[in-house]
Amino acid sequence: MAPRISRSDSSMLVKPPAIALWLVLCVIAVVFEKTAFGFFAGFVFLLALSSYTWARVSLKGVEMELDIGLAGVFPGQSFAVTRVVRNLKALPMLWAEIREDCGVSDCASPKADVIVANEVFRDPEKGSETLYERLYALSFVGWRRSVRFKDEWKARRRGILEIPSSLVRSGDGFGLCAEEKRFFFCGPKRVVVYPRLARTSPDSILIDMWDTRSESYGFLKDRTVIKSVRDYLPGDAARDLNMRLYARGQEMKTNVFESVKPDTVLFALDSFSFRACEPAVFERALSVLASLIEGLADRGIRVALMAPASKWFPETCTEPSSAEREKYGMFELLAAASPGDAPFSSSPSLPSDEPGRVYVVCGDESGLMLRAGALPYPEQKIRFLTAAADCGAALYSQSIFGFERA
Contact between residue 188 and residue 281 where contact means Cβ atoms under 8 Å apart: no
Cα distance between residue 310 and residue 335, in whole Å: 10
Contact between residue 26 and residue 38 where contact means Cβ atoms under 8 Å apart: yes
CA distances (Å), 385 to each of 67, 187, 260, 391, 399, in order?
39, 37, 26, 9, 5
Of 157, 119, 151, 122, residue with least CA distance to 135: 151
Query: For the chain, what's the residue count?
Result: 406
What pLDDT sits at residue 398? 81
What pLDDT sits at residue 102? 87
What pLDDT sits at residue 8? 54
Cα distance between residue 186 and residue 76, in whole Å: 28
Residue type, 144: R
Bridge partners of residue 362, in order along the sequence: 386
Cα distance between residue 125 and residue 130, in whole Å: 15
What pLDDT sits at residue 212? 39
CB burial of 98-118 (b: ≥16 within 10 Å; e: otherwise) equals bbbebeeebbbbbeeebbeee
Residue-wise pLDDT tens for the chain (406 aa)?
Answer: 334 444 456 667 777 778 788 788 888 888 887 888 888 888 888 888 888 888 888 889 899 999 887 878 999 999 999 999 999 988 898 989 999 988 888 889 998 888 888 877 766 666 677 888 899 998 888 888 999 989 899 999 999 999 989 999 998 888 788 888 999 888 778 899 999 998 888 877 877 765 433 444 444 454 555 667 778 788 777 777 877 776 777 778 887 765 555 578 899 898 888 888 888 989 999 999 999 999 888 888 889 999 888 888 998 888 888 888 889 999 999 999 988 788 887 777 888 877 878 888 888 766 566 665 677 777 778 888 888 766 554 557 788 888 887 4
Opening angle at CA 297, ends 293 and 298, nearest 5: 115
What pLDDT sits at residue 344? 81
pTM of the model: 0.76
What pLDDT sits at residue 262? 56
What pLDDT sits at residue 161? 92
